[in-house]
Amino acid sequence: MTIEWRYTTRPGLGVLSLSGHLGPDAVKRFHGAIDWVAARGTGPVILDLTQLRGWSTDGQLAIIRAARLLASHERPLHLAAIPADGSLVPNEGGPRIPVHGDLPTALAVHPTVTAATAATADRERAWRTSHWPDARPSTA
């Protein structure tokens, strides 16, 4: 089992959403998504785990590696809606990774995202894997 991802740039930050299971089989794909994110957008990155069914220790370690990579680009990583048990492998010596209960809470702590900027969809861009859960074939 692997993951699907969607990345959305917003004014001053990016949101990387995951679905599936972040286990050993998905780590390479996750790192590819993080490389994609590091090359696009500015500001903090919120890793939205709302649709993630679970994660393994390997998946959690991949998140810590991602936090380090993003920190090297001066882009802090925040987590939103971590899987049910609420645990995360300790990140000793790495960048602090704030954890928020859900995506709206994570977005609310960033002053760059206000109702006015969130409403300007023309400044937002989004990319996703072909099997992202809400991906629908074009009817145009």
- In this predicted model, what pLDDT tens digit does every residue of 17-44 receive, in sequence order? 999 999 999 999 999 999 989 988 889 9
Using CA atoms, how far apart are residues 71 and 100, in angstroms rounded to an integer? Answer: 18
139 pLDDT band, cuts 50/70/90, is very low
Using DSSP, state whether 80 is helix, strand or coil: strand
Range of the domain at 39: 3-127
Cβ burial, residue 56 (10 Å; 0-12/13-18/19+): middle
Q: How far apart are CA 83 and CA 79, in angstroms?
A: 10
Give yes or no for residue 78 having a pLDDT over 90.
yes
Q: Is 33 a member of any domain?
A: yes
Provide the pLDDT for residue 111.
66
Which residues lie closer than 8 Å to 53 by C-beta, 6 or more apart? 19, 20, 21, 83
Number of domains within the chain: 1
Q: 136 lies in a domain?
A: no
> Is 52 inside a domain boundary?
yes
